[in-house]
Amino acid sequence: MESNLLFPPQVWFSEPWEIRFVISASAGILILALALLRLNRLRPADAYDPQRAWLRAAVYFMFCFLVSWTTGVLPTLRSVPVVRPDQIGDPLWWLATTGLAVIILFGYGVIWRGGTVTHNRPLSLAPLLIFGITWGFATGELLLSIWSIIEKAGFGPVASATGTFLIGGSLNGLWHSKYWDVRVSPDHNVLEFNRKKILLAHFPNLIVSLLHLALFANPYVFLLGQAVALTISTLIMRFPPFWGPASAMVPQHPPEGRPRASIETRITEAP
């Protein structure tokens, strides 16, 4: 059974790069966490600001990559191709992959955009591309780690996909509502549009991405899909760059967003 696993069992620290990676990522988390604690002492606890948002995000990214290594996802990604040679000439693979790309691009470029406001934040393209791609790969590898745990428990690809959707989707929803969409992402949600975002952007992305993974066993296609989705989100919400001024700190915002009427009033009244 193990030979059919998407992420085979690994022997930790069997490769020279692993100890360097674990030490570097662990040290990075510690250093960033200390920097964040220092800013928390210096700045209001109930305020949002770009520096703390980026520090919190970086700690999350490194944590995701450490979990990915622990569950065998990261070592597997180092040894598998983005696309297998037999898939290049497979019309079904091309049809499914094109369909996945269309669902992600429409879901986030159209549906998600319709329920997102920027509050006139400037667009800093280069840092946001870096942030969005890293966010996508980190979150994608965390979801693949859930898949890896489920399949190592003896379940097949369909059960692994289903379990990843249910467990990963639930955990991600809680993570966003309780932390990420308050202390990392800037104020961007339109309250009346949230259900539409979930049903027509997030759910189709995760369902079709996991189905593609179950059918074709392409972890890189899954990761690239999440990177595209979250990079589009980062650009549309105009995530503030790390060097955004601390003077721009504003009160923490509700994760579910604000009613459209109150958003329009705020924009109209802005100087």
What does the pLDDT look like over 41-75, one tens digit per residue? 999 888 889 999 999 999 999 999 999 999 999 99
In angstroms, what is the C-alpha Rg of the chain? Answer: 20
Q: How far is CA 268 from CA 121, 195, 261, in A?
A: 15, 26, 11
Q: Check if the beta carbon of residue 189 is closer than 8 Å to that of residue 258.
A: yes
- Residue-wise pLDDT tens digits, 232-263: 999 999 999 998 776 667 778 888 888 887 77
Whole-angstrom Cα distance, residue 79 to residue 76?
5
Q: Check if the beta carbon of residue 141 is closer than 8 Å to that of residue 64.
A: yes
With residue 256 as reference, give the H or E element that holds it.
none
Tokens describing residue 44: 């209001």
With residue 108 as reference, give the H or E element that holds it.
none
Whole-angstrom Cα distance, residue 267 to residue 271?
9
Q: How far is CA 12 from the centre of its chain?
A: 25
Q: Check if the beta carbon of residue 164 is closer than 8 Å to that of residue 143.
A: yes
Can you give the residue ranges of every domain in the chain? Answer: 13-269
Query: How many other C-beta atoms are found inside a 10 Å radius of the C-beta of residue 110?
Result: 11
- Residue-wise pLDDT tens digits, 82-133: 999 999 999 999 999 999 999 999 999 999 999 999 988 889 999 999 999 9
Whole-angstrom Cα distance, residue 228 to residue 132?
8
Q: Check if the beta carbon of residue 246 is closer than 8 Å to that of residue 51.
A: yes
| Closest-CA residue to 244 (of 138, 131, 109) | 131
With residue 55 as reference, give the H or E element that holds it.
helix 50-70
Q: What pTM does this model have?
A: 0.93
